[in-house]
Amino acid sequence: MTQPRTGAQMIVQALKDQGVDVVFGYPGGAVLPIYDEIFLQNEIRHILVRHEQAAVHAAEGYARSTGKVGVALVTSGPGATNAVTGLTDALMDSIPIVVLSGQVPTFMIGNDAFQEADTVGITRPCTKHNWLVKDTASLSSTIHEAFHVARSGRPGPVLVDIPKDVQFASGSYTPKQKARTSHYQPKLKGDTAMIEQLADAIATAKRPIFYTGGGVINSGPAASQLLRELVEQTGFPITSTLMGLGAYPASGKNWLGMLGMHGLYEANLAMHGCDLMINVGARFDDRITGRVQDFSPKSKKAHIDIDPSSINKVIHVDMPIIGDVAHVLEDLLRIWKSKGRKTNAEAVAKWWDQINEWKKVDCLQYSNSETTIKPQYALERLEALTKGRDRYITTEVGQHQMWAAQYLGFDEPHRWMTSGGLGTMGYGQPAAMGVQIAHKDSLVINIAGEASWLMNMQEMGTMVQYHLPVKQFILNNERLGMVRQWQELLHGERYSQSWSEALPDFVKLAEAFGAKGIQCSDPKDLDDAIMEMLDYDGPVIFDCLVEKHENCLPMIPSGEPHNKMLLPNSSTKDAIAAPGAVLV
């Protein structure tokens, strides 16, 4: 083709051809040639993180909030091993990211060279696929293939390991269009006969429910639109997993709220009592099903999923439909409309009556306090004061995460970034950074617990450096709240190692980083303090001192089915039986 290029030049060119505008990374010996090429151009912006784990989470935040592929660049050895948590997180939550890692030169591989690690070996189980590029000739086509694999089918993380001599050597560049087309082409269209069968089931269902998940969001904006239309057409109730929040608007009239271990009472009871369950892009995760043997015992189940291995993995389904959510919903709506089918409106109305009875339980009630900020109250106020704004929320992992899912409403997809499958403490802060880079004028809030937040607090440096006005909303109970809650439920209130001692002064910490710090401990001051945070043009650490021993309820105790929920104000004593205690 044209004049030869070095491997490093090819990498930067391939990223440009793939439409990459930002890379999160950290330099080191084995990626110096790539960093030299980044220095010599202006199209791709490089964000210097403070730790490689954060680079990967930032790429995830970028990907989740835009629907595009996120990119991280790390060096060999420790750079790559630090990326492992982020890769695993992205694999569990099906987030498309490409991680480029440097490697020692090919002739030194296997010699225990300085900063050598078997990166493809280590990351094989935590990537969708990975490659070690051994010659420059195949470098550019491998990167194009990596992007294809990351974004196709069920999205996921991929890693390309590039030895330093491959970065220096010259070869000819393969443009995106001419790159080897992979045999990896997942099926998008669902089986029409099965979709017909589902349409028939929808027409006759008496107690139906839509159970939706992250697959709707991953499928793209069309999927969310089609889902909304389908819910409108059928009038069926809809619930969603943690990953799927925002696909159907929380303000929509058919919305039951999140389901699962800390889901809403009405959503879980509707799942338990339904006669038709339509799973759209969710995977019957153990946080959702509770005790599998008693999971929704009387229902026919349909399952729309792009990944054949999700079908019948946990729950046996009657109508498996393998395909992309948007494609399948489009066909389903067409089939539904073409024959002028109608739902059993009378039965569905009775079903709604039942659901409205369950709603009256008001499972999110909590006893508020005049003197102490309840975490639920803090989130209710945050919701009220940010509603209607162009808002993106990330979270860390724990009680605050579940409260955020319960008390905040999401009306659009891509607005909610949280570590669902892996449950990675330390996810939210770097993810928020990636979101803010992608949406520079939007309001980005990381809802955190003080313990999770400390796990990647070094990224405050990155936020200040790049003027990222992310708001760190820390619900500080000086406890590892969820661990403490389980110790209360399961281990006789012996709170082993679940408190946060020697916490920093978060206001001073913010100032030390060059950010703004706010502390609030009085419910009467909360609104003003939140407004001060929102009005400040720059990164803020908001230290919200909350009730220390609040439990996150409602809750399906581990080992129990959906209809055995612990409600607020119910006794938590001996709530979890011995068989449930071994579960996590």
Partner 1 sequence: MSPLKIKKGSSRHSAYDLRDPNADVIERHTLAVIVDNEAGVLARVIGLFSGRGYNIESLTVAEIDHLGHTSRITIVTTGTPAVIEQIKAQLGRIVPVHEVHDLTVEGACVERELALFKVAGEGDKRVEALRLADVFRANVVDSTLTSFTFEITGSPEKIDAFAELMRPLGLAEMARTGVAALARG
Q: Tell which one of 91, 98, 132, 195 touches partner 1 (CB under 8 A).
A: 132
**x/- contact string, 294-333, with partner 1 (CB under 8 A)?**
-------------xxx-xxx--x-----------------
Nearest Cα residue to 486 out of 504, 476, 498, 475:
498
Active site annotation includes 115: yes
Shortest CB 38 distance to partner 1, Å: 28
Return the range that interacts with partner 1 (CB under 8 A); candidates 16-24, 181-189, 361-369, 573-581.
Answer: 181-189
> Which pair of structure tokens corresponds to residue 342?
């109608």
Active site annotation includes 482: yes
Shortest CB 104 distance to partner 1, Å: 16
* Residue 110 found at the interface with partner 1 (CB under 8 A): no
Q: Residue 293 in contact with residue 268, Cβ under 8 Å?
A: no
Nearest Cα residue to 71 out of 412, 437, 420:
437
Shortest CB 308 distance to partner 1, Å: 5
297/514 with CB nearer partner 1: 297
* Residue 491 found at the interface with partner 1 (CB under 8 A): no
Q: Residue 216 in contact with residue 226, Cβ under 8 Å?
A: no
Q: How far is CA 320 from CA 218, 296, 315, 550, in A?
A: 19, 17, 11, 41
Shortest CB 325 distance to partner 1, Å: 18
* Residue 185 found at the interface with partner 1 (CB under 8 A): no
Q: How many residues bind partner 1 (CB under 8 A)?
A: 19
> Which pair of structure tokens corresponds to residue 23?
């890379």
149/280 with CB nearer partner 1: 149
21/318 with CB nearer partner 1: 318
Shortest CB 283 distance to partner 1, Å: 12
**x/- contact string, 522-561, with partner 1 (CB under 8 A)?**
----------------------------------------
Shortest CB 279 distance to partner 1, Å: 16
> Which pair of structure tokens corresponds to residue 568?
């607020």
Q: How far is CA 390 from CA 57, 166, 287, 445, in A?
A: 22, 44, 30, 11
DSSP 226-270: HHHHHHHHH---EEE-GGGTTSS-TTSTTEEEE-STTS-HHHHHH
Q: How far is CA 565 from CA 299, 354, 556, in A?
A: 20, 17, 5
Q: Tell which one of 4, 19, 110, 125 touches partner 1 (CB under 8 A).
A: 125
Active site annotation includes 114: yes
Region 138-177 residues binding partner 1, contact defined as CB under 8 A? 149, 154
Return the range that interacts with partner 1 (CB under 8 A); candidates 118-126, 204-212, 261-269, 353-361.
Answer: 118-126
Angle between helices 325-338 and 221-234 (to 10 degrees): 30
Q: What is the C-alpha to C-alpha distance for residues 314 and 42, in angstroms, rounded to an integer?
A: 48
Sign of the C-alpha dihedral computed for residues 425, 426, 429 and 431 taken in this order: negative
Q: Residue 55 in contact with residue 33, Cβ under 8 Å?
A: no
Sign of the C-alpha dihedral computed for residues 403, 405, 408 and 414 taken in this order: positive
Active site annotation includes 52: yes
Region 363-392 residues binding partner 1, contact defined as CB under 8 A? none
Q: What is the C-alpha to C-alpha distance for residues 165 and 106, in angstroms, rounded to an integer?
A: 7
Nearest Cα residue to 453 out of 471, 435, 465:
471
289/399 with CB nearer partner 1: 289
Shortest CB 132 distance to partner 1, Å: 7
Among candidate residues 115, 225, 354, 458, the one labeled active-site is: 115
* Residue 124 found at the interface with partner 1 (CB under 8 A): yes
149/417 with CB nearer partner 1: 149
3-state secondary structure of 391: strand
Nearest Cα residue to 337 out of 229, 180, 440, 262:
229
92/245 with CB nearer partner 1: 92
Return the range that interacts with partner 1 (CB under 8 A); candidates 95-103, 122-130, 424-432, 523-531.
Answer: 122-130
Shortest CB 316 distance to partner 1, Å: 6
* Residue 120 found at the interface with partner 1 (CB under 8 A): yes
Residues near partner 1 (CB under 8 A): 120-121, 124-125, 128-129, 132, 149, 154, 182-184, 307-309, 311-313, 316
Q: Which residues are catalytic?
A: 52, 114-115, 164, 482
